[in-house]
Copies of this chain bind each other. A is one copy, B any other.
Amino acid sequence: MTSPPQADPSGSAAKLVRSIPEATVARLAVYLRMLGELAEQGAETVSSEELATATGVNSAKLRKDLSYIGSYGIRGVGYEVASLHHQIERTLGLDRQQAVALVGVGNLGHALAGYSGFGGRGFPVAALFDVDPDLVGIHINGIVVEHVRDIPRVCAERGVTIGMIATPGPAAQSVCDQLVRAGVQCILNFAPVVLQVPEQVEVRKVDLAVELQVLAFHVARRRAGDASDTVVAPSVANGVRDGVHVTNGSAVLPR
């Protein structure tokens, strides 16, 4: 709780420090995974062109992204895979583990709790919570399900910094409040509701219904275009320009 207003939009002087664009941060995570794969394959170095192609981005964009974290490339050669991997990890704060608490061990929660991709990437699932008495006490992947009322104590004990909410929508806000009280700094929300949180808490939302609806929109748009059979009308300014709409991940959504 430093200073709520903060009031530094102009930044100016402080601008020189690392204010990495949101979009870049998300892509860094993608580069990171590809670098891990390249390392496994024994690659020593990789050029921006190669890495860009492999991750589906423009090479200039990739270089600019990397330039935000420093100049770790070697001109005429590329980037040293191991070194770059390390630098991105450090930038994203992955050099230290972040304990995750998962609330709501239903259908989705079970899948998440058993997913090895979290612990394997530095996000060990350190605690599970639910209200269902049939679930409290069972073990999933070696972790016991605790009652939601113990969120504060358990999260504090295990140093949880990130919470994941996989409860039904109506319960999400209440669960969120408890996680916040427990000192959780970030929340990944799977429930289809807009969470209210204090300013210092960061929330990201995974909303599959929204994903599908965005896809449905594109189907509809395509059908509308194809409808009149008149193909390839160059006069159609844009709207369907370069074909491969790789507009993936979700767009920036309300929390």
Contact = CB atoms under 8 A, between A and B. Distances in A.
A117 B192 contact: yes
A135 interface: no
A220 to B, nearest CB: 2
Contacts of A200: 222, 243
A171 interface: no
Interface in A40-91: 54-57, 91
Interface stretch (A126-134, A149-157, A234-242): A234-242
Interface in A223-244: 223-226, 230-240, 242-244
Given A248-B255, A252-B23, A254-B248, A215 B188 contact: yes
Interface of A: 2, 4, 6, 8-9, 11, 14-15, 17-23, 25-30, 32-34, 54-57, 91-94, 98, 100, 107-108, 110-112, 114-115, 117-118, 121-123, 161-162, 185-186, 188-189, 192, 194, 196-226, 230-240, 242-255
